[in-house]
A and B are shown apart, each in its own frame.
Chain A
Amino acid sequence: MSEDGLAQRAREIAAEAVGAVARAAAPEELERLRVTYLGSRSELMAMPRAFRTLAGAEERRVLGQAFNAARTAIEAALDQRARELERSRLADLAETEAIDVTFPGIEPRIGRLHVLTRVQREIETVMERLGYHVEVGPEVETDWYNFEALNLPPGHAVRDMQDTFFFTSSEDLLLRTHTSPMQIRAMERLQPPIYVIVPGRTYRRDASDASHSPQFMQVEALAVDEGLTVGDLKGTVMAFAEGVWGAERRIRFRPNFFPYTEPSFEFDVSCGVCAGRGCRTCAGTGWLETGGCGMVHPNVLRNGGVDPERYTGFAWGLGIERIAMLRYGIDDLRLFYENDLRFLEQF
């Protein structure tokens, strides 16, 4: 065949191929056409062998151009058609691959942390931001740390406020009735200024019912520094309460009595259910009894080895279960320790 004939033939093949490609309906057909027109045994790809025998450089150049144009055109057509086919396939996804998106999710098999752990950690976080650090201590305590060092002399009626478990092994041992023994231990261990928070288990000899448990969790904060005042105590309790309940809640201090603080208070938080207007949760008062607090009694400072002439201190404490109960609307203390998974899995 002459060079003109070959060039002409290349253009014909290209035209035929482009037409076939444009008609192709599936990616597999495109692949087949690629083999047919551009495969190593195709007519087009055989052409370079043919025109290598042609003598003139000019002829080879002309033929080469025709060959390249044909190949490029076919390749471009193949690519374009492939994109078109892919686009039309994706356009159908809504019909071809639809699933029922309202079907329930498959829950990962993951456990949970206990609600008391969560609430305790939250309380700790608020206080840690105020510069306090966590101290923990023994639950099986001596009479000295639990009572006597805290101004609760033996035989005195004030001990009746905290009915106590004792042990068979030693008359001096008991289960701590509050976290306050750690006030003494913290003062012994650390030098003022002291800013600590003490979470932990405590025990009172109560029968178990919806609002009592012989074992419960308390958290207690202690500050010992120069010049601390009732105002500082109030501000700290308010900062704590706002951290735990939010800034819109109010705090009320009522005078009260604890042997280890003077003056002593109970603090109430305004009811979050009724915003202080009075409801069933707060028994109509608008206030929720939350915790006890006061300025550390000079005797207690002295028993902790701190000079009451130089330092003052304040302490406050509350029940962690009570915070959790108010927060989540839990009405029975026993639920925390029963560990019914249907309860635990709500938090």
Chain B
Amino acid sequence: MRVSYEWLTDLAGVRDVTPTQVAEVLTMAGFPVDEVRPIDLSGLQVGRVLSQRPHPASRHPLWVHEVDLGDHVRSIVAGAANAVPGSLVAVALPGTTVPDGTVVRDARIAGIPAQGMMCSERELLVSDDHGGIMLLDGGKPGQALEEVLPFDAWLDVEVTPNRPDCLSHLGLARELAAGLGRRLERPFMPAFVDGIEPPGTELIAVEIEAPDLCARYIGAPITGVRVGPSPRWLRRRLFAAGVRPINNVVDVTNYVALEYGQPLHAFDLTRIRGRRIVVRRARPGEELLCLDGQLRRLDSEMLVIADAEAPIAIAGLIGGEESAVSEATTDVLLEAANFDGVSVRATSRALRLRTEASTRFEKGLSPELAQAGARRAAALLAQLAHGRVHLNWADRYPRPQDPVRVRFRPEQVDALLGVHVSLQEMESALRRLDFQVQIQDDGSWDLLPPVYRLDIHIPADVAEEVGRLYGYDKVPATLPGNRRFSWVAPLPSQERRLDGLRHVLAGAGFTEAVTLALVSGALLDRLGVAERAMRVLNPVSDEQDTMRTTLLPSLLQVAALNANRGRPAVSVFEVGRVYLRRADRPQPDEPVRLGALRTGLGSAEAGRTAFLELKGALERALDALVPLQVAYQRDAATLFHPGRCARVVVAGRPVGYLGELHPAVLRDFDLDGRAVGVELDLEPVLALDVPRRACPLPRFPAVHRDLAVVVAEEVEAATLEETIRGAGGELLESALAFDEYRGSQVPEGKKSIAFTMTFRSPERTLTDAEVDARLERLRRVLADRHGATFRA
């Protein structure tokens, strides 16, 4: 909310604080001030126009003025003709920057010297009026303008939604005064305005058909108004608060809304058909041409103000065009009402319209505030628009505000704050905020919050008020301690355990990415991985409308982005969740997965090597979590190359896939070359309970043997390895395939797989003869079982 410093300090009755100090006090009271913009009038002077004559040479209408500045007279050229001789004006001399940012230059216009500028209201940020030169009510030539026009500054104040009472200058003035240790003199409820006959209730009838949505409706008829411009002080305050001045009647409703925080509306009384106001839900098909020129369709969820025939306003949001106050209006119906916040908010959202009124109502206002606003506006309309206020307003109040009483013990406040606040200090703080304090015989306090404070219910709310004014900087900082402590085992978190895997992958050359969980649903559909996807009802863009079901597309996007920026080969991984809809309950599964991707591989052979490297890195990474054996089974999963994909199996359970990415998938991401990737669930791995045990170091030397096994194409390394392990006996320590060969040395349709084997006994040094005998047996078994031959 934009606030006028001049208005605020006037209401608070403080004259001795700068705008920056005001900002500091409000910020520490819980109303952060984002910006302070002083309206700098220094360097501007009062001038008296001595003469005015048309410019002799200009083709546009211009007037040349002689202006008395006290100690000298200047020639000033202006386009407006209203600064007739005798007028007092605000003069800016060359070199001055006026508040709206215009820099005044020393110039000649068609031969006549222009030695300064007479300012308009807009140039001085008094209003948006640029139609003429602003004429001053007082001052003498040469006097500093600051002495004639009170200094002002604009403050941008954040008001939290629990304090709609402070969406007003009066509310913030109270906070300002309280923060400075003072109390606002002015009572919250203005005095009743003496009314004339006939009673208001004879001029208008008010009926509330929807008391659930309207707790109170005051209709105050004010007749005989003369619509015209508001006085400058009022226009200036409105403008400072960001509201455009229109005419005295409309301006008064806006002014009171900004002063008290109670939205008001003025109808032209004569346009209300049947002299009846009905507060009801809209009927199907009803429409309203609103003040902003828009025709809005209403529905039966929306509350409207209707006359005998049709809606004339949308409650708490905007008035209708037909019933609006115009230049010709003489009789006004002033509306001060209380509408339900949830309803106003719903209507505001449905119509996509937010107004000064709706932002206040939707937070929930006190119905008592309606009366204060009505009284204040009536008095101002009488004063500024010659309005005649009638007695006996139509005031329907079907749901009076419940009085609130909070009982607490002052020690409770101390206990919550962690500091002792003296009873005097506590009481003073609460009284400065308009609370009534009744101290009971047993030492407990009964607290009656002011009617406009709907946010105070429990002792903790009171503690907050006391703490704010006492000053949280005075609360000593302590740490919880010396209390009963039930032990929570300090096991490392899952994320911290997964760091072991992260570090191994980083060591293997992969950089960690963190990608967005919201992805494009169309992309998942196209890739065929949209099964069980959760779709967002109200996405901000098509690119982020679905929760990801797999990590690899996100990593492919990372690769594509880097390729576009000149890095065609990347190695990246991510540890993150995917989101999978469940049939048996609304909330999805959110398994934590590992995804890794390496792109930019040039050839089929490079793809094979990268596959094996990724496999090796994966095994080391998983080993950092749990010591385990990983098994692989040929598979053809979505996204993967059908001939180069393995299902990854851990402890008998498939957890994911490893392989080359399908060329068509890479093309979808505009990626050149080949890529290998892996994606698997980590939680089943973390859940394994495999203890890591140390093995004693061998005491006897090992004997190594290599064996090149020539077999048919379809025989896989893992199968041979299994046979070797089975036939090798207890002396075979390890067997590992290390080379694959096709070519002139082996027959067509066959391949050679070379194994390196280690034999060792825990009890003695093996002899060559012993090992050769084992090897011979191995050859026989391999030949029998797989038709293997052997290369030298």
Compute how far the CA of A112 lies from the CA of B27 in the bound complex, rounded to whole angstroms. 42
Instruction: Check if A245 is an interface residue, CB within 8 A of chain B.
Output: no
A170 touches B480 (CB 8 A): no
From A110, A141, A230, A235, B467 is in contact (CB under 8 Å) with A230
Compute how far the CA of A226 lies from the CA of B505 in the bound complex, rounded to whole angstroms. 44
Size of the A side of the interface (Cβ < 8 Å), in residues, is 89
Complex interface: chain B residues within 8 A of A193 (CB): 483-486
A231-B419, A262-B461 as given contacts; A112 in contact with B511, CB under 8 Å: yes
Instruction: Check if A340 is an interface residue, CB within 8 A of chain B.
Output: yes
Compute how far the CA of A264 lies from the CA of B472 in the bound complex, rounded to whole angstroms. 11
B486 touches A191 (CB 8 A): yes
Instruction: Check if A281 is an interface residue, CB within 8 A of chain B.
Output: no
Compute how far the CA of A110 lies from the CA of B535 in the bound complex, rounded to whole angstroms. 37
Instruction: Check if A322 is an interface residue, CB within 8 A of chain B.
Output: no
Instruction: Check if A341 is an interface residue, CB within 8 A of chain B.
Output: yes
Compute how far the CA of A297 lies from the CA of B236 in the bound complex, rounded to whole angstroms. 42
Complex interface: chain A residues within 8 A of B479 (CB): 130, 232, 235-236, 239
Which of B49-57, B143-151, B559-567, B709-717 is found at the contact surface with chain A? Answer: B559-567
Instruction: Check if B444 is an interface residue, CB within 8 A of chain A.
Output: no
Binary A-proximity of B563-592 (CB < 8 A = 1, otherwise 0): 001010011110001010100001110100
Complex interface: chain A residues within 8 A of B467 (CB): 230, 255, 263
Instruction: Check if A160 is an interface residue, CB within 8 A of chain B.
Output: yes
Complex interface: chain A residues within 8 A of B364 (CB): 157
B570 touches A341 (CB 8 A): yes
Compute how far the CA of A239 lies from the CA of B342 in the bound complex, rounded to whole angstroms. 41
A140 touches B161 (CB 8 A): no
A121 touches B499 (CB 8 A): yes
Instruction: Check if B547 is an interface residue, CB within 8 A of chain A.
Output: yes
> Which partner residue on chain B sits nearest A215 by CB separation?
B516
Instruction: Check if A117 is an interface residue, CB within 8 A of chain B.
Output: yes
B539 touches A165 (CB 8 A): yes
A121 touches B534 (CB 8 A): no
Instruction: Check if A214 is an interface residue, CB within 8 A of chain B.
Output: yes
Instruction: Check if B61 is an interface residue, CB within 8 A of chain A.
Output: no
B460 touches A225 (CB 8 A): no
Smallest CB–CB gap between A242 and chain B, Å? 11
Chain A 258-272 residues near chain B, CB threshold 8 A? 259, 262-266
B544 touches A339 (CB 8 A): no
A140 touches B561 (CB 8 A): no
Smallest CB–CB gap between A152 and chain B, Å? 10
Complex interface: chain B residues within 8 A of A155 (CB): 342, 345-346
Smallest CB–CB gap between B616 and chain A, Å? 14
Instruction: Check if A327 is an interface residue, CB within 8 A of chain B.
Output: no
Which of A138, A203, A263, A336 counts the most B-chain CB atoms under 10 A from its CB?
A263
Instruction: Check if A190 is an interface residue, CB within 8 A of chain B.
Output: yes
Binary A-proximity of B586-623 (CB < 8 A = 1, otherwise 0): 11101000000000000000000000000000000000
Compute how far the CA of A109 lies from the CA of B590 in the bound complex, rounded to whole angstroms. 33
Smallest CB–CB gap between B650 and chain A, Å? 22
Compute how far the CA of A100 lies from the CA of B540 in the bound complex, rounded to whole angstroms. 57
A110 touches B30 (CB 8 A): no
Compute how far the CA of A226 lies from the CA of B481 in the bound complex, rounded to whole angstroms. 10
Which of B79-87, B274-282, B386-394, B487-495 is found at the contact surface with chain A? Answer: B487-495
Instruction: Check if A136 is an interface residue, CB within 8 A of chain B.
Output: yes
B458 touches A298 (CB 8 A): yes
Chain A 59-112 residues near chain B, CB threshold 8 A? 109-112
> Which partner residue on chain A sits nearest B567 by CB separation?
A341
From B362, B363, B483, B539, A226 is in contact (CB under 8 Å) with B483
Instruction: Check if A169 is an interface residue, CB within 8 A of chain B.
Output: yes
B518 touches A255 (CB 8 A): no
Which of A113, A136, A339 counts the most B-chain CB atoms under 10 A from its CB?
A339
Instruction: Check if B537 is an interface residue, CB within 8 A of chain A.
Output: yes
Compute how far the CA of A191 lies from the CA of B511 in the bound complex, rounded to whole angstroms. 40
A111 touches B508 (CB 8 A): yes
Size of the B side of the interface (Cβ < 8 Å), in residues, is 89
A231-B475, A235-B477, A238-B477 as given contacts; A254 in contact with B416, CB under 8 Å: no
Complex interface: chain B residues within 8 A of A257 (CB): 30, 160-163
Complex interface: chain B residues within 8 A of A136 (CB): 493-495
Complex interface: chain B residues within 8 A of A160 (CB): 161, 345
From A167, A231, A255, B418 is in contact (CB under 8 Å) with A231
A225-B480, A238-B477 as given contacts; A157 in contact with B341, CB under 8 Å: yes
B514 touches A255 (CB 8 A): no
A124-B496, A128-B490, A167-B536 as given contacts; A295 in contact with B460, CB under 8 Å: yes
Smallest CB–CB gap between B700 and chain A, Å? 36
Which of A136, A157, A205 counts the most B-chain CB atoms under 10 A from its CB?
A157
Compute how far the CA of A312 lies from the CA of B480 in the bound complex, rounded to whole angstroms. 12
Binary A-proximity of B302-326 (CB < 8 A = 1, otherwise 0): 0000000000000000000000000
Instruction: Check if A55 is an interface residue, CB within 8 A of chain B.
Output: no
Smallest CB–CB gap between A253 and chain B, Å? 4
B534 touches A169 (CB 8 A): yes
Smallest CB–CB gap between A145 and chain B, Å? 10
Binary A-proximity of B515-555 (CB < 8 A = 1, otherwise 0): 11110000000000000001111111000100100000000
Complex interface: chain A residues within 8 A of B29 (CB): 255
A156-B342, A161-B161, A227-B415 as given contacts; A254 in contact with B30, CB under 8 Å: yes
A190 touches B488 (CB 8 A): yes
Instruction: Check if A342 is an interface residue, CB within 8 A of chain B.
Output: yes
Chain A 189-226 residues near chain B, CB threshold 8 A? 190-191, 193, 195, 199, 201, 203, 205-208, 214-215, 223, 225-226
> Which partner residue on chain B sits nearest A345 by CB separation?
B511
A297 touches B537 (CB 8 A): no
Complex interface: chain B residues within 8 A of A199 (CB): 495
Instruction: Check if B417 is an interface residue, CB within 8 A of chain A.
Output: yes
Complex interface: chain A residues within 8 A of B662 (CB): none
Complex interface: chain A residues within 8 A of B547 (CB): 140
Complex interface: chain A residues within 8 A of B135 (CB): none
Compute how far the CA of A323 lies from the CA of B461 in the bound complex, rounded to whole angstroms. 31
Compute how far the CA of A312 lies from the CA of B460 in the bound complex, rounded to whole angstroms. 11
A229 touches B418 (CB 8 A): yes
Instruction: Check if B502 is an interface residue, CB within 8 A of chain A.
Output: yes
Compute how far the CA of A74 lies from the CA of B44 in the bound complex, rounded to whole angstroms. 111
A134-B493, A262-B464, A339-B558 as given contacts; A236 in contact with B480, CB under 8 Å: yes
> Which partner residue on chain B sits nearest A336 by CB separation?
B514
Chain A 324-347 residues near chain B, CB threshold 8 A? 336-342, 344-345
> Which partner residue on chain A sits nearest B31 by CB separation?
A255
Smallest CB–CB gap between A108 and chain B, Å? 8
A157 touches B345 (CB 8 A): yes
Instruction: Check if B131 is an interface residue, CB within 8 A of chain A.
Output: no
Complex interface: chain B residues within 8 A of A263 (CB): 416, 460, 463-464, 467-468
Compute how far the CA of A26 lies from the CA of B571 in the bound complex, rounded to whole angstroms. 53
Complex interface: chain A residues within 8 A of B217 (CB): none
The 7 closest A-B pairs by CB, nearest first: A229-B418, A231-B418, A255-B30, A257-B160, A263-B464, A134-B493, A155-B342
Sample of 21 A–B contacts (CB below 8 Å): A110-B509, A111-B507, A112-B512, A124-B493, A156-B345, A165-B539, A167-B537, A172-B586, A205-B540, A206-B540, A208-B540, A215-B518, A227-B415, A230-B472, A231-B419, A252-B473, A253-B472, A262-B460, A264-B464, A295-B416, A344-B513
Q: Which residues of A contact B (CB under 8 A)?
A: 109-114, 116-117, 120-121, 124, 128, 130, 133-134, 136, 138-142, 154-158, 160-161, 165-170, 172-173, 175, 190-191, 193, 195, 199, 201, 203, 205-208, 214-215, 223, 225-232, 234-236, 238-239, 252-257, 259, 262-266, 295, 297-298, 312, 336-342, 344-345
Given contact pairs A238-B477, A264-B464, enumerate 10 new A-B contacts (beta carbons under 8 Å). Answer: A114-B514, A136-B495, A167-B536, A173-B534, A199-B495, A231-B417, A231-B475, A256-B160, A339-B514, A342-B567
Q: Which residues of B contact A (CB under 8 A)?
A: 27-30, 32, 160-163, 341-342, 345-346, 362-364, 415-419, 458, 460-461, 463-464, 467-468, 472-473, 475-480, 483-486, 488, 490-491, 493-496, 499, 502-503, 505-518, 534-540, 544, 547, 558, 561-562, 565, 567, 570-573, 577, 579, 581, 586-588, 590
